[in-house]
Amino acid sequence: MFDIRPFLSIPYKHKGRDYSGSDCYGLILLFHRDVLHRELFDIDEDYTPNWSFKNKNYFIENYHRHFEKVDKPKNYDMILFQNRQGIVNHGGIVLGYGKFIHCCKDGTLVDNYNREGWRKRINGFYRLK
């Protein structure tokens, strides 16, 4: 297991991509770069601070090239969540035992994706090809 502490101090920043501030995808980029030593593409589309993504699934449209959807997550897989409109608008990294790390308005947190509020929003688990 990697040392989670450096990630927990990251505050939320819309379109942030480093340890001084990040959004959920920025955290995923940092994790893959610094823990898994893999450079991922960045989403270059202009998405809005309210995560509407102009009603497009930019995450899904871009992820299929590098990730495959899996039924049973393993540590370090990505978990994606969708809003009421079915648009993927949040993501994190699976830590095991139902836990995941993600960056949200409250900063970087560890949470349980089996909790009702998260469970009903799960779009799926994705593994790097």
Which CATH number fits the domain that encloses residue 40? 3.90.1720.10
Residue 40 or 118, more confident: 118
**pLDDT band at 41; cut points 50, 70, 90:** confident
The number of domains in the chain is 1
Query: Is the pLDDT at 46 greater than 90, yes or no?
Result: no
Q: How far apart are the C-alpha atoms of 72 and 101, rounded to whole Å?
A: 17
Q: Give me the domain span that covers residue 124.
A: 5-128
Q: Which residue has the tokens 């560890």?
A: 110
Q: Sign of the CA dihedral 125, 78, 62, 123?
A: positive
pTM over 0.75: yes
**pLDDT band at 55; cut points 50, 70, 90:** low
Query: Is the pLDDT at 48 greater than 60, yes or no?
Result: no
Amino acid, res. 51: W
Secondary structure class of 122 (helix, strand, coil): strand
In this prediction, residue 122 carries a pLDDT of 97
Query: Is the pLDDT at 64 greater than 70, yes or no?
Result: no
In this prediction, residue 28 carries a pLDDT of 94
Strand partners, 94: 100
Query: Is the pLDDT at 60 greater than 60, yes or no?
Result: yes
Please, what is the end-to-end C-alpha distance for the chain in angstroms?
A: 20
- Are 17 and 112 contacting, i.e. CB atoms less than 8 angstroms apart? no
CB atoms within 10 A of CB 79: 23
Amino acid, res. 87: I
In this prediction, residue 34 carries a pLDDT of 96
- Are 20 and 103 contacting, i.e. CB atoms less than 8 angstroms apart? no
